A and B are shown apart, each in its own frame.
Chain A
Amino acid sequence: MYKAPVDEIAFTLKHVAGMGDALQSGALGDLGEDLVDAILSEAGRFATEEVAPLGDIGDRQGSRLVGGKVQTPDGWRDLYHSWIGGGWNGLTAPEAYGGQNLPHMLHVAAMEMWNAGSMAFALGPTLTMGAIEALEKHGSDALKATYLPKMVSGEWTGTMNLTEPHAGSDLGVLKTRAERRDDGTYRIFGQKIFITWGEHDFTDNIVHLVLARLPDAPAGTKGISLFLVPKFLVKADGSLGERNDLFCHSLEHKLGIHGSPTCTMIYGDGKFGAEKGAVGYLIGEENRGLACMFTMMNNARLAVGMQGVAIADAATQKAIAFAKERTQGKAPGWTGQGMSPIIEHPDVARTLLTMKALTQGSRAISYACAHAVDMAHAAEGEKAKYWQERSSLLTPIAKSFSTDAGVDVASMGIQVHGGMGFIEETGAARYLRDARIAPIYEGTNGIQAIDLVTRKLPLSDGAHVRGFIGELREIASAVRASNRNGFGETAARLDAALDDLSAATEWLIAAVAASKLAEALAGATAYQRLFGLALTGVYLAKGGLAEVSDAKEDQRIALCRFTAENLLAETAALKDRVVNGADSLAVARAVLA
C-alpha cells in the first residue's frame, strides 16, 4: 500500500528545487520550515490513510451513470467531504475567497500525494483548482463573489469544457455556440466530450467553464469565448435555483482512471428550463476565451506532470515491497537459505533503481518548475522575467518527462511483479492503466515538445536556456570539486550529458531561427527527453551534494551515481536523433503512404 514519502518530498523541495533558499530569502512570506513540514506531514497522512485505501475500490467499481446521475465509487463521497473538511482544496487559492494562498511548491507536493493515493480521485480537485484560477484571473467581481468562495471551500466543484468530437488538440474548430441575451447573459448550445468530473454526486452544484463561439466571432482560435455555466443557477441570496439546461449524456469506458467520471456533456438541448439553451456568463472578454484558458494552462500542465510523478512513486513502492518478499532462484552471491528474494537479482535491482531514479528526477524537475512559478510571483522586474521564463521552459519538460516516467515506471513495476503484475489483484496493473492518459491530455507530450522547441528555446533569444545550462554545469563542477568517492564517474557523465544538451539546443535554436520547422520538430520529442534526463542527473547530484547529514545521505549519492553511470549515456543517442534524424525521417515518410 502506498505510503506518502514525506521526508523525500520535503528533502527534494528544500534542497533540490530551491524552497530552502526561497524560505530564507523571505520570498515565501511568513512561511517557515516548521509549517512546511507540518503541512506535508498531515497531507501525507491523509493521502496514506484515507485516499490510498480507496484507490483500488474506485478502479474496480468505477463511476457509473444511473438514471442520468453519476454514482461515484463506494466511500468516495465521504472521502471527498473529509478531504475538503481538512481544508486541502484551498491550499493555494486566494485568501480573499477563503483559501490559504500557500506557495505552488506545497501545492504540487500535496497533489503528488493525492494522486499517488488515487489519481482518479485527485483529478476532480485538480480541475476545480484550474477553474478557480481561470475565474479568479478573468471573471467579473460579481461572478467571483458568487462562485469562488464555494469553489475554494470545495462545496462546489469546477470543470473545464474544451474538447469536442472533432476539436481535440486544435480548439480553433470547436462548434459549441453561444448566443447573447439582452440581460447580458448568454445561452450555450452544443456537445462537449471528455469532461472530467462533469457530473457526480459529491456536491450540490458543479460549475462548468465552457469554451464556445459567438455567432459573429472570427474563425479559428481568435473567435472563442469562455463562459461560466453552472449546473444549477444561483439565486441572488446564494442559494440554488433552477436546474440549468445541461446534462451528462454518457460516461466513457476507459483504459484507466475508472473512478473519475469522464462525461459527454450536452448544453442547450431543452431538457431543463423554460427556454432552450444553458445559461452562461461571460468570463473575460468576448473572443478572448482561449487566452483566459492559457493563463492557467501552465499550472494545469504541471499538475498533470505531478500525476506522472505520483504514479511512478506509487508503482516503485509497490514493486520494491514485492521484490523483497518474492523469492525465486538463487541470485549470484546469495548465501541465505533457500531461494533469494528477487530484489537480490541484478536485473531486478537495476529495474528498481531505474524506477527510483526516474521518479526522483521527474519529482525534482516538477518541483523546480513550481519553485520558478512561486519566484516569478514573488519577484519584480528583471527577476520576475527570469523566473517567468524558467517556469515556461520547465513546464513542457515537467509535464512530458514526468508523465512518460509514470508510464515507463508503472510498466517496469509490472515487469518486476512478473506474471503477478499482469493479474489485476496485485494492483500493479492499475498504475499503468491510470498513468497512460497523462502523456495524452492537457496537451499531448508531442505538443509539449513543439512548445518547448518553438516557443521556449527562443525565449530571450536563447539566452535563458543557455544560462540555465550554464547553471546546470556549475552543479556538475561542484560534484567534481566535492572529491567524494561515492560519486564515481558522476561529474564526467554529467558533463557529457550537458554537452549533448547544449549541442542539441544550439542546433534546434538555429533550425527554428532559419525557419527549418520540419527539421526541428522531427527531433523535438527526443530533445525533450534529452533535457529531462540531463536534468534528472543534475538534480540527483544536487541532492547528493546537499549538506544534510541524515541516514539517507549515502543512499542519495549512490542513486545519483547509478543514474549518471547507467542512464545518462542515453543522452548521446538522443542528441544524435535531434541533430541527424530529420533527413531520414523525411525520406522514410514514403513508407507510411
Chain B
Amino acid sequence: MHIVVCIKQVPDSAQIRVHPVTNTIMRQGVPTIINPYDLFALEEALKVRDHHGGEVTVLTMGPPMAEEALRKALTYGADRAILLTDRHFAGSDTLATSFALSQAISQIGNSFDTPDIVFTGKQTIDGDTAQVGPGIAKRLNLVQLTYVAKITSIDLSARAITVERRSEGGTHVLKSELPCLITMLEGTTVIRRGSLDDALRAARSEIVKWNAAEAGIEDITKCGLRGSPTVVKRVFAPTPREQKAVQIDTTEKRVHDIANELVASIFTHQPALQHELSSAGSA
C-alpha cells in the first residue's frame, strides 16, 4: 500500500498580526507550522499504513525552507519526503498548485509505486479555499472523498474503502473504490509524538528535491504566477457589525423560562432550524 500525503507549511495563524495601517499580513517573525488539517491527514495515513503495511510519502510544494515541515512529517513516521521546489512555482494559486502537485504525484507513481490513497487536509489555514484537494483528484481522475472525519475500514483485497464524511446536519457513510483522494477534517485522532530515534532519523534522512522538470512537468505556463488566474483585489480587515448585547436579569426569572424565551427568539430568526430539529426529534 502506498499513501501520498500532501502537506503545506503555513504561518502559525495564532501568531499572525495584521498591520494596522497597511492591512497586510505581518509575516516577520511568525513561526511556521504544518497546516493542522494536513497533520490530521498525515496521522490518518500513518495509522492506515501501520495497520495495512506499506509506505507513506509526504509531498509539499514550497520554498527550500519547507524542508522543515517535511522533516517534521518524517519525525512522525513518514517513510519518504519529497519537496517540490522551483522558482517557476512561485506565486501559484490553487489552480496552479493542484496542477503541479498532481503532476508530481504521477511522477511519484512512476518513480516509486502508484499511490492507493492521496491525502490532503480539508483546507489550509492561510488560504482557506479547500480547492487543492479536489483539484488534484480531478486531474488524476481519482474518486474524491472530501470532509472525511473517519476512515471506517479498508479492504485491500476488494480494493474498497469506507469513510464517514461530515455534512450539514449529519454524516454520510461512503463506500468507495481505491485509489482515491481523501481530504481530512480534524478526524478523531490525536497527532502522535515522535520519539528521539524518529527525530534523529528525520534529521538524517535525505529529502528528495524535485524541480518542475524532475516532477515531470512539461508545460511551465500552467505553473506559478503564469498559471494562476486568481488576482487578489484587496486585503482588508472587516469591520465588525455593530451588535447589541442583551443583558438578561436572572434574579427575577427562572433559568428554564429564560432558556425557553431564547430558543423561541432563535426560531423566529431561523425557522428552518426549528423544522429540522422537530423532524429530527420526531424521527
Also in contact, A38 and B199, with CB within 8 A (given A86-B193, A551-B15): yes
Which residues of A lie under 8 Å from residue B67 when comparing CB positions? Answer: 34
B29 near A550 with CB under 8 A, answer yes
User: Quick one: closest A residue to B29, CB to CB?
Assistant: A550
Residues of B within 8 A of A87 (CB): 195-197
* B195 partner residues in chain A, CB cutoff 8 A: 42, 85-88
How far, in angstroms, from A46 to B199 measured CA to CA in the complex? 13
Please tell me if A91 contacts chain B, counting CB pairs below 8 Å: yes
**B30 beta carbon closer than 8 Å to chain A:** yes
Question: Can you name the residue of chain A whose Cβ is closest to the Cβ of B71?
Answer: A34
Distance to closest chain A CB from B22 (angstroms): 18
Q: In whole angstroms, what is the CA distance A551 to B26 when docked?
A: 10
Q: Is A100 at the interface (CB under 8 A from chain B)?
A: yes
Give the distance in Å from the alpha carbon of A551 to the alpha carbon of B11 in the complex: 13
Which chain B residue has the least Cβ–Cβ distance from A49?
B193
Q: How far is the CB of A269 from chain B (nearest CB, A)?
A: 40
Q: Quick check: A39 and B193 within 8 Å, CB to CB? A: no
Q: Kindly identify which residue among B17, B30, B194, B204 contacts A42, using a CB–CB cutoff of 8 Å.
A: B194
User: Cβ of A35 < 8 Å from any Cβ of B?
Assistant: yes
Q: A218 an interface residue at 8 Å Cβ cutoff? A: no
Would you call B68 and A91 a contact (CB within 8 A)?
Answer: no
* Interface of A (DSSP majority class): helix
Asked whether A45 is an interface residue with its Cβ less than 8 Å from the other chain, the reply is: yes
Complex alpha-carbon distance, A477 and B30, angstroms: 30
Q: Count of chain B residues with Cβ under 8 Å from any Cβ of A?
A: 22
Q: Is A90 an interface residue (CB 8 A)?
A: yes
Query: How long is the Cα–Cα vector from A100 to B199 in the complex, in angstroms?
Result: 11
Cβ-defined contact, B193 with A35, below 8 A: no
B273 contacts chain A at the CB level, 8 A cutoff: no
Q: Is A551's CB under 8 angstroms from B193's CB?
A: no
Per-residue interface assignment for chain B, residues 170 to 193, with 1 indicating a CB less than 8 Å from any chain A CB and 0 otherwise: 000000000000000000000001
**How many residue pairs between the two chains, A and B, have CB atoms under 8 Å in the bound complex?**
55
Asked if B28 is at the interface (CB within 8 A of a chain A CB), the reply is: yes
Binary CB contact string for chain A from 281 to 309 against chain B (1 if under 8 A, 0 otherwise): 00000000000000000000000000000
Q: CA A43 – CA B199 in complex, angstroms?
A: 10
A285–chain B nearest beta-carbon distance, Å: 35
- Determine whether the beta carbon of A551 is less than 8 Å from that of B29: yes
A238 touches B (CB below 8 Å): no
Residues of A within 8 A of B71 (CB): 34, 38
The interface bits of chain B over 200-211 (1 if a CB of A lies within 8 angstroms of the residue's CB, else 0) are 101110000000
In residues 192-238 of chain B, which contact A (Cβ within 8 Å)? 193-200, 202-204
CA–CA, A45 and B39, complex, Å = 15
Which one, A38, A43, A46, contacts B203 given CB within 8 A? A38
Q: Do B203 and A35 touch across chains, with their CB atoms under 8 A apart?
A: yes
| Most chain B CB within a 10 A radius of its CB, from A38, A86, A550 | A38
Asked if B166 is an interface residue, CB under 8 A from chain A, the answer is: no
Interface membership of A549, Cβ < 8 A: yes
User: CB of A462 within 8 A of chain B?
Assistant: no
Residues of A within 8 A of B196 (CB): 39, 42-43, 86-88, 90-91, 100
A86 to B77, CA, bound (A): 13
Encode B158-172 as 1/0 by CB contact (under 8 A) with A: 000000000000000
B92 within 8 A of partner (CB): no
Q: Can you identify 29 A-B contacts, CB atoms within 8 angstroms? A: A34-B67, A34-B68, A35-B199, A35-B200, A38-B75, A38-B194, A38-B203, A39-B199, A39-B200, A42-B193, A42-B194, A42-B198, A43-B196, A85-B195, A86-B195, A86-B196, A87-B195, A88-B195, A88-B196, A90-B196, A91-B196, A100-B200, A549-B28, A549-B29, A550-B29, A550-B31, A551-B29, A551-B30, A553-B29
Residues of A within 8 A of B (CB): 7, 30, 32, 34-35, 37-39, 42-43, 45-46, 49, 85-88, 90-91, 100, 549-551, 553
**Chain B: residues with CB nearer than 8 A to chain A?**
15, 17, 28-31, 67-68, 71-72, 75, 193-200, 202-204
